Structure 1
Amino acid sequence: MTVAANPISQAVVWINDPLNWTNPGGMLDRLGEHLTISALAVALGCLVAWPLGLWLGHVGRGGGLVVLVSNATLAIPTLALLTILPVVFASGFGRTPVVVALAVFAVPPLLANAYTGVRQVDPETRDAARGMGLSGGQLLRRVELPLAVPYLAAGFRTAAVQVIATAALASFVNGGGLGQIIRTGFGIGIAAGGGQIVAGGVLVAGLALLAEVVLGGVERLVTPRPLRRGRRGGARPRPADATGSA
């Protein structure tokens, strides 16, 4: 009677097999799909959330709307949205509805941090800029937006990591990505595919952690040195901060 190999040791063997990297549909192909889907989703989220958040923060209204949108979006089950969008809009399963669905989940941190970043600007700074004759648009572009960059970077970091982790579910609606490795492993059964399932999970988690580290470094670089101490120790703005800034 043979004892089944440990799934962790199976995963090590599976990851170290060169064919699993280079074959069509292998790890390199799935990694490229995963990064493409995630990048498009975050970019779409930025196009929607940043202009709206910056404008609401500039006019000093809409804090309640920001929280409402964030909470409502986070309450939607990810897999439900991934399956509803293709059916409702008759777009078919594939990359486009996946990108749109993931962009919905990228919006809350992007929107909240854009709003909070503008509202955190010192009122005296605004008054000084207006005293110099800056119009509303110039105030936003030249004063509020530059000072809000660290908050925008924090929101981007949170959104990117969240989307990368969630994109693993894209495989269930023919969207590709690293989740396809996990799904295929389940398809061939736990006994035979347990190592592949673990390997896919490790790849997704590793990619999310790498994004966290890299974007954390970018966030630190764009944060002025005097502000780094005040933002250390989990002081990153969150969606709930929007209400207190209205």
Structure 2
Amino acid sequence: MHLSVCGISKWFGHGSTAKLVLDNISFDLHSGEFVALVGSSGSGKSTMMRLVAGLERPSSGEVLVDGKPVRGPGHDRGMVFQKYSLYPWMSAAANVAFGMRLQGLAAREVKERTAYFLEVVGLADAARRLPRELSGGMQQRVAIARALAADPKVLLLDEPFGALDLQIRESMQEFLHDLWRRTGLTALLITHDLEEALLLAQRVHIMAPRPGRLVQTVEADLDRSDLAHLRVTPRFLELREELARSLRQLDAAASAPAS
């Protein structure tokens, strides 16, 4: 799998009131990689993710998946949002099965894949429970299982743990890292949490605000065998400070009055 973002720019509005939101962004994501986009408010992270997902169209440039232009949403890209977006009247299993049924898969295959992916995310015993009967972290696991069950080439994660409290968030980071390690999934994460980006992603792209543009890439070659320990290692703390310093400088430059 190869996802390529090629010279993407995005304008909102028309004529003299048009606003440039993303300016000539390019990056690549290869099979088995976990990559993150970080940036402060106004950097266009969510707009970029919507373009990759096919929910928006770029003003110029294109997104390619295995050489084919993205023209809209597709089963090759699985999306997980900050809000769990589960159907409240459906059980966990029915939520996971929903996308596969839309694809027209045979009932037996839907049942088998639903059971398998609930097992993958550690929720086999919760198959019949409604979303309101699940914790926030469990609901997000169901959302991830639903995305994976559609067999996407890449998993798109839009601030997936932003609505969770700190303890559950750290647990979900451990879960997602373990899932990536076990399954070899390909993932693109957007987050404002620098620690989360470094814990999960092999490569972190920094976006500048107003307009959003990619200004720096940090290779996060870290030993992730123990995420709890990794958080306090000198190299991790050094990289986190490097990212934070870059974002502070970009925010200061963006807010400085024009000369």
The TM-score range, normalised by the shorter chain, is: under 0.3
Task: Please state which structure has a larger fraction of its residues in strand.
Answer: 2
Task: Please state which structure has a larger fraction of its residues in helix.
Answer: 1
Higher relative contact order (CA 8 A, sep 6+): 1
Give the TM-score of the pair, scaled to structure 2: 0.21
- Larger radius of gyration between Structure 1 and Structure 2: 1
Give the TM-score of the pair, scaled to structure 1: 0.22
